Structure 1
Amino acid sequence: MTSEARYDIVAIGNAIVDVIAQADDVFLEEEQLNKGAMTLIDADRAKQLYNDMGTAREVSGGSAANTLAGASTLGRQCALIAQVADDQLGEVFSHDIRATGIDFDVPPIGKQPPTGRCLILVTPDAQRTMNTFLGASQFLSPASVDTALIASGAILYLEGYLWDAAEPKAAMAQAIDIAHENGRKVAFTLSDGFCVERHRDDFIALIQDGKLDILFANEAEIKSLCETEDFEAAVEQTAKQIETLIVTRSEKGAIAVHQGESCAVDAEPVEKVIDTTGAGDLFAAGFLSGYIEQRPIPDCLTIGAIAAAEVISHYGARPEADLTALVKQRLG
């Protein structure tokens, strides 16, 4: 029997500090960067690219952490499992996540490897090109998975970005089993086409084996997962195997298929798109917040669209406006 949850969402994800700078397409070409995508880089490349970037601002990020920041702003009780190092960026990340009202108790692992960072280049068309050094994040061990913590969360939320390294992959697999043993829902985001290409077989196995209850993807990711250019076919194929599928489509809005019933919403209007970093993360935050409140699925999609619209209207991947007020204004 499911006990009452202490937390609305417990997430496992990367502990990343975003370093954000503006750049033009010429710079991306000179640095041989894959525009609009996420690329994993090593420590030497991270240092070289950081030196070549223009003036930058540092803000705490990480996909699942961004989602929790949005959900916390919407009034949800959240906890994060992630790994930092005992260094300056680790202190920045820990301070920022706790200041958002999120419980974060995983101790640092030492000075090396350093805390992860994502070097983000934002071009004038608001596209973000991400270059991620995972650092300490890829050493999150199964020992960091607190059974009681996972059992106390109504939803376990996992990010595909963390699937590369063996230790965090094992930690997430362990957490999925704990969550389901305690009657909790498991939500997973495919994160990026890069992740799908690398881990398609694993992600499909998670879906087919019933390990996931809620799946987040964007249009490119769901087509890549199903290895087809037919969007409707990809949605239909995946939705048959999972309780709730959510697919974002940028300016075309988003769709959800919940227990076989499909619905869609338009994108929320944005006066000017500044930076698309975190759009998917905040959409998940909004959707899950509505889901936890047991709102109708169309309302959950709308809350996700509201949160995504807010975050792309400024630099950085965490909300700056009062999302609760925006939702109340829109939905009452």
Structure 2
Amino acid sequence: MKTTAMRVLGVGSPLLDLLARVEEPFLEKVPGAKGGMELLAPEVMDRLLEQLADEYAVVPGGAAGNTVFGLARLGVPVGMLGKTGKDAYGEIYRSSLVRLGGSESAFFETDQLPTGRCLALITPDGERTMRTFFGASSDLTAEEVETVDFSAYDLVYIEGYQLFHQAMIEAVFRQAKAAGCRIGLDLASFEVVGLFRERLLELLKEYVDLVFANEDEATALLGDKPAEQQARELARFCEIAAVKLGPRGSLIASGDMLCHVPADVVKAVDTTAAGDLWASGFLFGYLHGRPLSECGRYASMTAREVVQVVGSKIPEQRWEALCRSFQPYNN
């Protein structure tokens, strides 16, 4: 699908997702409890991968990365700002984006750390046990950010996890604003919001045009109140605010307008990256100037597809179907 959409720069951790189906006994070899996400030393991850004997899939991931790859699949011109190691995993990540027409000009490399990875161990009950090594992705500096030509992009989309790298992400906000970019921010998790709540409120007022949150994140930021009220309050900070309600759909607010968009409810196999691909669909509509209710409908459609697969990789034929459904608009 060819489009005339504006250019989007994703800012996040370029991680390779390593997806493996395992039996319950395998988890006895894995540090930490079953389920959730914990950090893992790279040498321990390497030992686990050796025991899996290459029986795992390698898929580009990371929160902003998932959104950017989704946009690229929909024909939107994209780039990614992040850091990888000078290794095979880094090459996989970069080349995967370039094959979809994305730009690697804002990628940085280091030979001091390997590319970040997230090992996802999926047991027969469908539960995912994730062990992550951030590696080179955590080494991006403010000085490197300041060399990026933000004027080459129209919208900068940031994953909230980058708030852990304060100097770097502050440079992103400043550079993007100075270049006249619109700025989108996903709040990432309620833990992130809780840690950075006061600064987040300032950033939303000063820099952010679009903010995406789920109910837990909105509650951590604004307090326990009806989702409709949370969406309206967020829209006082930003031009557009979305509160995602899972199977109950989403609320989208802008100015005095508030709309509810139903979810496309299907049997979910894995909800990983559902919010990230939701953002892909929403941003596709936004960049083409569609009404916000229609942007939300696109978002529901992309989220519907990804929850029916393990991981973030929607099958090629389903992308083709989505592209046919997302009629190209030349605004």
* Aligned residue in 1 for 2:278: 283
Identity among equivalent pairs (%):
29
Instruction: Name the CA distance, whole Å, in 1 between partners of 2:326 and 2:238.
Output: 29
Shift of 1:42: 4.0
Matched AA of 1:84: T
The equivalences for 1:165-180 within 5 A come to 165=165, 169-180=166-177
Q: Bigger shift: 41-50 or 15-24? A: 41-50
Q: Bigger shift: 9-18 or 274-283? A: 274-283
Across the two proteins, how many residue pairs are aligned to each other? 321
Contact 2:39 2:131 (C-alpha < 8 Å) held by counterparts: yes
Instruction: Name the CA distance, whole Å, in 1 between partners of 2:259 and 2:37.
Output: 29
Shift of 1:216: 1.1
Q: CA RMSD in A?
A: 2.9
Instruction: Name the CA distance, whole Å, in 1 between partners of 2:123 and 2:230.
Output: 30
Contact 1:70 1:318 (C-alpha < 8 Å) held by counterparts: no
The DSSP-based 3-state class of the residue aligned with 1:104 is coil
Shift of 1:175: 2.3
Give 5+ residue unaligned stretches, structure 2.
none
Q: Bigger shift: 283-292 or 246-255? A: 246-255
**In the alignment, structure 1 residue 56 sits paired with structure 2 residue 56:** yes
Instruction: Name the CA distance, whole Å, in 2 between partners of 1:260 and 1:128.
Output: 40
TM-score, structure 2 length as denominator?
0.85
The DSSP-based 3-state class of the residue aligned with 2:136 is helix
The DSSP-based 3-state class of the residue aligned with 1:294 is coil
Give 5+ residue unaligned stretches, structure 1.
none
Deviations 1:280-303 (A, max 9, x none): 111111101100000000110111
The equivalences for 1:212-291 within 5 A come to 212-228=208-224, 230-270=226-266, 272-291=267-286
User: Please, which of 308, 312, 330 is the counterpart of residue 307 of structure 2?
Assistant: 312
The DSSP-based 3-state class of the residue aligned with 1:119 is strand
**In the alignment, structure 1 residue 163 sits paired with structure 2 residue 163:** yes
The equivalences for 1:1-332 within 5 A come to 8-22=7-21, 31-33=31-33, 35=35, 37-43=36-42, 46-47=45-46, 55-105=55-105, 106-110=107-111, 112-123=112-123, 126=126, 128-145=128-145, 149-165=149-165, 169-208=166-205, 210-228=206-224, 230-270=226-266, 272-321=267-316, 322-323=318-319, 325-326=321-322, 328-329=324-325
Instruction: Name the CA distance, whole Å, in 2 between partners of 1:230 and 1:48.
Output: 47
Contact 1:7 1:152 (C-alpha < 8 Å) held by counterparts: no
Shift of 1:53: 7.0
Shift of 1:121: 3.2
CA gap of 1:23–1:253, structure 2 versus 1, over 3 A, is: farther
Q: Bigger shift: 215-224 or 75-84? A: 215-224
